[in-house]
Structure 1
Amino acid sequence: MSTPDLTPALGGSVTAFVEGSSTLIVERTGSGSDVLLLVHGLGMGRSVFAELARRLDGTVVAVDLPGFGAAPEPELPLTMPQHADLIAAHLASTGTPPVTVIGHSMGSQVAAELAVRHPDRVRAVVLAAPTVDAGARRVVRQGLRFLHDTASIDPRVVIRGVREYLRAGPHIVRKIRATVAHRPEQVYPRISVPTLVLRGSRDPVCPPVWTRSVADAIPQGELAEIPGCGHETMIRDAGPAADRIQEFLAGI
């Protein structure tokens, strides 16, 4: 196994948590008793949350899932439940109190699994640009939607995204398949904590009908829309999303 790069991406302290062939890169920044756990999307890494992390109040914990960002490739790409179990093992090993888990895109699937499989570890959930739309669960269909979204994104976001996808390595197709194969709609009804579903108003990957169904499926779910954003919701301009997340947390 290669030695992971522990260079800070958010200006915090970075550690590696290893279990079996899987390595989770964890960066902590900020302070306070409230812990916010950031889980990135497909092909991304914790670096995309640099602006969001600065805008959130509390201790921010951002991860690179195995095979993404600076985390080495595992023997096989992890499933969404396996990602959630690995994060839970890290939280347990560090004695971290219950977290607000904020998952973007594929990270929302991991966040949902964490909340259901390890409810003692989760205080609240934020599902930003939740995938995968049950009405379009095909690799080609999802790919076309991502391309449509990319066409309207700030070039700086595109460059960052391309860099992270290249870092995701040769197994990206298998990782896409693991994402598309997951059935988050079977998980949502079992989330027992307050949950905010965030959608960018211009997001073609997560249509309004789908995100409304996600919020409706969660017993304590609520839906909010960020004007002018696409699928990148919290990456291009993190301010509105951070404000909405803080408002949500203040009310629970």
Structure 2
Amino acid sequence: MRALVETVSVDGMPVRLRTIAPAGRRHDALEPTVVLVHGIGMSHRSFGRSQIALAREHRTITVDLPGFGGLPGAGRRLEIPELADLVMRAVRSRGVHESILVGQSMGAQVVVEAAIRHPEEVDSVVLVGPVIDDHRRTLLQQALSLGVDGFFETARMNAVLVTDYLRSLRQYRWQLRPMMRYPMREAVGRLRVPVLVVRGHRDPIARSAWTARLAQVAERGALAELRGAHHVQEHEPGAFAELVDEFRRMQALEATR
């Protein structure tokens, strides 16, 4: 599958969109579109294998936020609501008006906020390895967990992590404070769309008790665990895509009742 790569400007900031869809249907009105948002320091490469798996059935778009994936930075801190609006405005510019938002790590915060601010355009959200655990809110705790996670990731994923982090150091530093202080649990409790929380069984960052609390506080929440670490969507891309598809089918069935 070949990707259509476009960089759009939103309020003067670059946002890169990488679209993959079933053959010949990149521009079709395939709804909902699966929109994937990376975590802090990362890029679309953290969804490399899972995007391909999802694109067998869906139009998919990965988003590179300003300052990440080699894009120029904003030169300032971007709060989570601002990032959420950037994502929605960028995909809207490409004709996406109905989406399943998938966010990994900090990206989970971004998609939650996007669903709160733009509920008419969001069908559901999928939170993969969501942060920040409200019982483990210090930078030291997060740094130690990140270090441990490196032992459980694949060699490929660790290579992506290191190279993406090196490209994004300046914006990474700006984004730490917004990520650390975002009230994730309270925000998930405000959602009125279905929420699927996904964690890897060896994820030391998004631990089982924390992800369970998130799923429980959601009005329509579900929790699933796959084999893998923090970037579980890349450990088990096929199983992850099937999980998203099943969640979508279940929500469609409930809507008809």
How many angstroms does 1:94 deviate by?
Answer: 3.0
How many angstroms does 1:157 deviate by?
Answer: 1.0
Code of the aligned partner of 2:190:
R
User: Residue in 1 aligned with 2:233?
Assistant: 234
Is 1:14 paired with 2:13?
A: no
User: Residue in 1 aligned with 2:255?
Assistant: none
What's the TM-score once normalised by structure 1's chain length? 0.91
Alpha-carbon deviations, 1:35-70, whole Å to 9, x = none?
100001111101221211111121001110111113
Is 1:27 paired with 2:25?
A: no
> Alpha carbons of 1:100 and 1:171: their partners in 2 closer, same or farther (altered >3 Å)?
closer
User: Residue in 1 aligned with 2:151?
Assistant: 151
Q: How does 1:1-252 map to 2 (within 5 A)?
A: 11-30=2-21, 31=25, 32-56=30-54, 57-227=57-227, 229-252=228-251
Unmatched segments (≥5 aa) in structure 1: 1-9
Looking at structure 1, the residues matched to 195 and 213 of structure 2 have their Cα atoms a distance apart, in angstroms, of 13
What's the TM-score once normalised by structure 2's chain length? 0.90
Alpha-carbon deviations, 1:188-220, whole Å to 9, x = none?
111111111001111110111110110011101
Code of the aligned partner of 1:162:
V
Looking at structure 1, the residues matched to 152 and 89 of structure 2 have their Cα atoms a distance apart, in angstroms, of 38
User: Secondary structure, in 3 states, of the residue corresponding to 2:48?
Assistant: helix
CA RMSD of aligned residues (A): 1.4
Looking at structure 2, the residues matched to 63 and 92 of structure 1 have their Cα atoms a distance apart, in angstroms, of 12
Higher mean C-alpha displacement, 164-173 vs 188-197:
164-173
Looking at structure 1, the residues matched to 64 and 94 of structure 2 have their Cα atoms a distance apart, in angstroms, of 17
Looking at structure 2, the residues matched to 173 and 75 of structure 1 have their Cα atoms a distance apart, in angstroms, of 11
Aligned length: 242
Looking at structure 2, the residues matched to 27 and 77 of structure 1 have their Cα atoms a distance apart, in angstroms, of 24
User: Contact conserved, 1:91 with 1:121, CA < 8 A, in 2?
Assistant: no
User: Contact conserved, 1:146 with 1:205, CA < 8 A, in 2?
Assistant: yes
User: Secondary structure, in 3 states, of the residue corresponding to 1:69?
Assistant: coil
> Alpha carbons of 1:43 and 1:74: their partners in 2 closer, same or farther (altered >3 Å)?
same
Aligned identity (percent) is 30
User: Contact conserved, 1:66 with 1:78, CA < 8 A, in 2?
Assistant: no
User: Contact conserved, 1:102 with 1:108, CA < 8 A, in 2?
Assistant: yes
User: Contact conserved, 2:16 with 2:65, CA < 8 A, in 1?
Assistant: yes
How many angstroms does 1:152 deviate by?
Answer: 1.8
Looking at structure 1, the residues matched to 156 and 89 of structure 2 have their Cα atoms a distance apart, in angstroms, of 34
Unmatched segments (≥5 aa) in structure 2: 252-257
Looking at structure 2, the residues matched to 200 and 241 of structure 1 have their Cα atoms a distance apart, in angstroms, of 11
